[in-house]
Structure 1
Amino acid sequence: MSTRNRIYFASDFHLGSHPDESSKQRERAIVSWLDSIKSDAVELYLVGDIFDFWFEYATVVPKGYIRFLGKLAELADLGVKITFFKGNHDMWMFGYLEEELGATIISDELELNLNGKSFYIHHGDGLGPGDRKYKFLKKIFRSKVCQWLFARLHPNLGIGIAQRWSKHSRAASNTEEKFLGEENEWLIQYGKELLTRKHYDYLIFGHRHFPYDIKLSDRTQIINLGEWITYSTYAVWDGEELRMMNYEWRIKN
């Protein structure tokens, strides 16, 4: 029997993004990956934009994702601790995933100390220079008033609006993103600024969609987890080393 000693990080699954068949195929791949890690995972961090849209009404959640949620439930029953980060697409998580999966929900950043190493984890939206329009919209979308008003819409209307919007999202376009260089990657810029205030051994982000693994200094490694539309990348911590990995699900399926 294998020992549970690995911690996994992944982000930007964008389940539910247009077109539906692509999302369903991606869900099958993610379920296959989760099945492959269930024997040695002790924790699983899902670092935002797991769903292309998510809103929890008092008695209704978006339909679908049953295989994904079922596999998470299996992991939770095996004792795997699951942590969700709110992304810019699924920021309206409230209590459902906590109640059903025993998951922890993180709204912004999380700092961890694992085996003497310090970690800073954030989905990545709204960080770094620029993008003032989104930063303004984020404050509106996260406001209690906005959430209350949206909850007044019938789910068929509210979720329908979100699904139409999803057809024009970055995930739906399936455009492969490119690395812009350290001087132009805003999360790298944010990471460097963050390190002027406090040391971290590892910085982990999602949101950007392009996976990278870079040494910011002799003591700090920054990872962007990428997404599962094109790259199927994730990171794993084995107690000594944080590594970026790729799940070759296209071959396995």
Structure 2
Amino acid sequence: MKIKRKVEIAVISDVHLGTYGCHAKHLLTYLNSIEPKKLILNGDIIDIWQFSKRYFPKSHLKVIKKIMDFASEGVDIVYITGNHDEMLRKFSGTTIGKISIVDKLVLNLDGKKAWFFHGDVFDVSIQNAKWLAKLGGWGYDLLTLLNRGVNWYLEKRGKERYSLSKKVKNGVKGAIKYINDFEKVTAEIAIENGYDYVICGHIHQPKLELIENKNGQTTYLNSGDWVENFTALEYQFKRWKIYNFNKDKLAPFVVENEMDNMEMQDLIAAITIVEQEKKKKKDKKKKKKKKLDN
């Protein structure tokens, strides 16, 4: 039996389950190799924009089951909404067992402040996003709503949603400038708000860099994606690192054999069973507490 790597926090983003570009088997191999205390899903995990009932293979459903398994084992799961799964933003603030849905997250990591968010809200306008986000937490929330409003308007007009893909279509130079602007603005806002770490996704560019300006410094981190780069972020022993599936096969775990021959309905049933088991445990705790009170 292989020993799984213990990780305090694992961060993945831009998985795009439900699309042809998603490498779900790579992600499953990675998830099977770690034992995290907290798993942060930093947006665009399920691609609701491009979701099709005709394409959601078993490997994609297995990723969902693996995440549910983590939750049933006591792992804290934080789902930060992104632009491709922005429909979940209406459930922001909801917690079901060990799974919570949020638009952004701030954690204290060994005395340092870490700010997690997906990053799509900066697509509305890099320059406008900067001054609005400076206004504080509510300003960021307002920016999130503004982003949704812009996309709703564009859809009504029969136009494409505003996203990074538009920037890329304008040419490589434009895409590089957008990425540089994104990283610069993100870091500036983090510094001005006193965050030691700023962790995002969205632009599919894994990175870990200390960024300084006249007001201070912050560590900018991007978890990359599971479409091209196959990367994740890991926090352990007070340090961050980028895990790269192609280079860091620290433990070559395979997808669980017992799942290989399962039919789609079996996998759905397995996910349901996890939820039922969680409910049974809760009911047992309530009964036990009731007895003690009596």
Output the TM-score relative to the length of structure 2: 0.60
Aligned-residue offset at 1:140: 5.5
Which residue does the alignment assign to 2:67? Answer: 72
Between structure 1 and structure 2, the one with the greater Rg is: 2
Count of matched residue pairs: 215
* Partner AA of 1:224 in structure 2: N
State the match for 2:186 in structure 1: 190
Give 2:132's aligned residue. Answer: none
For the aligned residues, what is the CA RMSD? 4.3
TM superposition outliers: structure 1 runs of 4+ over 4 Å = 1-5, 134-137, 140-143, 249-253
Q: CA deviation digits over 1:107-132, x for unaligned, max 9?
A: 2x211101111101110012262589
The answer (yes or no) to whether the contact 2:196–2:219 under 8 Å persists in 1 is yes
Paired with 1:131 and 1:232, the residues of 2 have a C-alpha distance of 31
The residue type equivalent to 1:106 in the other structure is V
> What residue number does 2:218 align with?
220
> Which one-letter code corresponds to 1:42 in the other structure?
K
Change (3 A) 1:46 1:73: same
Read off the aligned partner of 2:126 and give its amino acid letter: P
Q: Which ranges in structure 2 are unaligned for 5 or more consecutive residues?
A: 130-143, 154-159, 255-294
1:30 aligns with 2:40: no
2:45 to 26, 47, 50: 50
Within the candidate set 78, 98, 101, 1:102 is matched to 98
Task: Report the alpha carbon displacement of residue 54 of structure 1 after superposing the two structures with TM.
Answer: 6.8
CA shift for structure 1 position 88: 0.2
Residue 148 of structure 2 is matched in structure 1 by 138
Q: 1:5 to 1:215 in 2, by over 3 A?
A: same
Give, as a single letter, the amino acid of the residue that structure 2 aligns with 1:90.
D
Q: Which of 11, 35, 38 is matched with 1:9 structurally?
A: 11
- Give the whole-Å Cα distance in 2 for the aligned partners of 1:85 and 1:3: 24
Partners of 1:106 and 1:73 lie apart in 2 by 17
Per the TM alignment, residue 76 of structure 1 is displaced from its structure 2 partner at its CA by 1.2
Residue 248 of structure 1 aligns to a residue whose secondary structure is coil
Cα separation, partners in 2 of 1:47 and 1:245, compared to 1, 3 Å: same
Equivalent-residue separation in structure 2 for 1:180 and 1:222 (angstroms):
17
AA of the residue aligned to 1:9? V
| Residues 141, 214 of structure 1: alpha-carbon distance in 2 compared, 3 angstrom cutoff | same
**Cα offset, 1:219, TM superposition:** 4.6
Query: For residues 124-162 of structure 1, what are the alpha-carbon distances to aligned partners after superposition, in whole Å with 9 as ceiling and x for unaligned?
Result: 012262589x9855236689xxxxxxxxxxxxxxxxxxx
C-alpha distance in 2 between matches for 1:232 and 1:220: 25
Of 83-92 and 4-13, more deviation after overlay is shown by 4-13
> What's the TM-score once normalised by structure 1's chain length?
0.68
Secondary structure of the residue aligned to 1:193 is helix
How far has the Cα of 1:3 moved from its partner? Answer: 8.7
Alignment gaps of 5+ in structure 1: 56-61, 144-164
- More helix per residue: 2
Q: Counterparts in 2 of 1:161-176, with a 5 A limit?
A: 170=165
Between 1:215-224 and 1:74-83, the stretch displaced more is 215-224
Q: 1:86 aligns with which of 72, 81, 88?
A: 81
